[in-house]
Chains A and B, each alone.
Chain A
Amino acid sequence: MKQKAGRGNSKAVSYNKWGYIFLIPFFAVFIVFQFVPLVSTVYNSFFENYRSGLIQVGPNFIGLENYKTLFTNGELLTYTKNTLIMWVMGFIPQIIVSLLLASWFSDQRLRLKATSFFKTVIYLPNLIMASAFAMLFYTLFADGGPINLILMQLGILQEPFKFFSSIWGSRSLVALMNFLMWFGNTTILLMAGMMGIDPALFEAAEVDGATSTQVFWKITLPLLKPILLYVMITSLIGGLQMFDVPQILTNGKGEPVRSTMTLIMYLNNHLYSKNYGLGGALSVCLFIITAILSLIIFKVSGNDKKAR
């Protein structure tokens, strides 16, 4: 499947200008709607620029002062840690369940019934607005809520467990909600990728007597690689930018003891005062962290060569 065979050079050039033409809508819209705010994010990170009530302070050029503030108060590290912990707590079960489901659904031999029902159902939680979802979580996980009641009736707990007052309780709820909202999404992505795999390959494998596990590791996974890479990268980015679930679930506080405060929630705190200086610096740091980690994934997966 290598790019174009040796063809007339002039012809190739005339085709390839279409590459630029097809890029026009994206870049036109990008420049009009997103470019200015984006560039000013970076620009602002070198300025003291915030609002105290309705009074604008700055912008005054202060060089790398914002970055210095971020690195010296030590909070950046704490919140990076929180973010990664909660991401891993949600992502690992999510990717395992998604791969498992995707492999079951694509396994010809397992012959599961009602798969279209199951496939449809798993994405449904994502349709509930995160804020509405959180409302339901509160009522269920309240100190005197039904979950505690059930656990106490079963004799697992002696007295109510205060989920929202416990560090690991809160983190687990964040991870659980993230998992519920996104595992269907990931499974759908993987399934859509599997649809693209030529069914003849599976048939051939079956004829050759390959086991399901072999089919999964030798055929499904390698062919899924581009989509898997997409899932990894976007989950990583989504994970590092984790915001709405912990924000909503902890009422924007990141409590207890700021153990559920993620990087973007921290960023969001600065936006209360329209602190575009510190906020910008934080964004740039976050961008660099994300870029490095993404690059690692690209390298490890060996996909960078294929990215052409």
Chain B
Amino acid sequence: MKKRVLSALLSTAMVMGLLAGCGSSAADAPAADTSAGTEAAATTEAASDEGAAVAAGDEGSVFNIYCWNEEFKSRLTDHYPGYEEVDGTTGKIGDVTVKWNITPSKDNAYQNNLDEHLLTQADAAADDKIDLFLIEADYALKYVDTEYTMSLADLGITDEQLVNQYQYTKDVVTDSNGNLKGASWQGCPGVLIYRRDIAKEVFGTDDPAEVQKKVADWDTYKATAQEVKDAGYYMTSSVNDTYRTYSNNVTSKWVVDGKINIDDNIMKWVEDSKTMYDAGQIANTTELWSDDWSKGFFQDAKVFCYFGPAWFIDFSMAADTEGSVANAGGWAATEGPQGFFWGGTWICGATGTDNPSLVKDIMLKLTTDETIMTDIVKADNDFVNNKPAMAAMAADTNYKSAVLGGQNPLRMFCTGAESVDLSNQGAYDQGCNESFQNAMKNYFDGNATLDESLEIFYSSVEEKYPELSH
């Protein structure tokens, strides 16, 4: 368990929690009620023999799903035909009993638990074998690049069936041999979210197209930061706000031939952030989700922009709270300097499953079926991983985001989703990204020189991955 593992820290837990979901909801809908409400309707209506047909044949009678929260369960309950809920951790699809093994992600408990079970999967009784498990992008390759995850081709899913999914969601779960080994029902492309009032004051306009010109690439972004600063505002709340935007656009992997490799774009983040922080253009160096960071959501703060995906805009910016910028619809979205994504959950089939056809069917229904996915958009406000469905929504002039003052940002998200290039993802990403941001904080704060901070980064990574050197 690395550092994050045993940490019981709020912000870590929050980040993990946040990563887990890529949903957005109408700001006023009490979250818990959404699933509870639709659940009953969905089950009665779906209790057809369709589900039973899938499970027929000589496949296993127990279907084990490993995950870290209730999200996937509510998706399955609400949208998978034939799923019936029995109690909190069991359900039924036809004759097959679905068993949910939910372990919180805090302190790495989820991965620790999953690892132990995957490693003993071969010796486990058929009913105890993991059939399906969920992963997040940061550590996807840790599982995908092993024989413990089934390739979609082996499950009988063809490339044509997946043609409507965004490419980056496939890159995340493609192993080093080019095999696709998972699928997601969500897309989480991100945009730059800025305050309209500050834009008007500083640039004289809050039109997204005009503001985009001010942040079109990192050089103009930096020039703009000085303008914003001169007007008495901060460009971003923390140096870490822009990290994903840089790290999603690297041209090399974190590890090359067993050696730790720092991509130029990552070093650019360090240089840019240091310059901007020292020039007083960035408010602080705290972690995302800390109090100091989220203060910028409110009117009386001086933060010009955040970087985030759809769920972030709709759900994280305190839209339901009096005095927040989101509450007044004071934000607007634009593409920003580079495309990036944030969050998302992927479904994987475990090698050795005794219910391969059910795994296949769940994947197909939830991640490729346009009708079901459109339902997910409508019921759960997710940004789904289906190009035609999202294109239709983007073209819909009735779709307006209240947080963004009536703007329909979906077109930007769609563009963003297309532009993310994750071909340089690797199995070490989660550990390296975390260690890097932590170590660089010392440099930004002036507690250490760049070289000293890099040393801290190296030793931290080598503790996590003893096989690496630098």
Contacts and interface: CB of A to CB of B under 8 A. Distances in A.
Q: Do chains A and B touch in the complex (CB under 8 A)?
A: yes
B115 A54 contact: yes
Given A252-B7, A257-B442, A144 B467 contact: no
Contact of A256 (B4, B118, B442): B442
A278 interface: yes
Nearest to A269: B463
A272 to B, nearest CB: 3
A271 B5 contact: yes
B396 interface: no
A55 B147 CA distance: 10
A120 interface: no
In this complex, which of B285, B427, B467 has the most chain A Cβ atoms within 10 angstroms of its Cβ? B467
Contact of A248 (B5, B8, B146, B295): B8
Interface string B428-455: 0001000000100110010110001000
Given A50-B466, A256-B445, A272-B463, A244 B5 contact: no
A57 B2 contact: no
A17 B456 CA distance: 57
Nearest to B8: A131
Contacts of A129: 8
Interface stretch (B9-17, B53-61, B66-74, B162-170): B9-17
Nearest to B9: A251
B453 to A, nearest CB: 8
A108 interface: no
B465 A143 contact: no
How many of chain A's residues touch chain B, expressed as a range?
A: 35 or more
A253 B466 contact: no
A194 B119 CA distance: 53
A145 interface: yes
Most buried by A among B108, B118, B142, B291: B291
B287 interface: yes
Contacts of A271: 1-2, 5-6
B123 interface: no
Contacts of A244: 8
A80 interface: no
Given A54-B146, A54-B148, A256 B447 contact: yes
B466 A138 contact: no
A73 B459 CA distance: 10
A252 B3 contact: yes
Given A57-B467, A256-B442, A269 B460 contact: yes
A165 interface: yes
B9 A54 contact: no
A57 B11 CA distance: 32
10 contacts: A51-B115, A54-B118, A57-B467, A135-B9, A143-B292, A144-B292, A256-B445, A256-B448, A258-B456, A268-B3
Interface of B: 1-12, 108, 115, 118-119, 142-143, 145-146, 148, 284-287, 290-292, 295, 427, 431, 438, 441-442, 445, 447-448, 452, 456, 459-460, 463-467
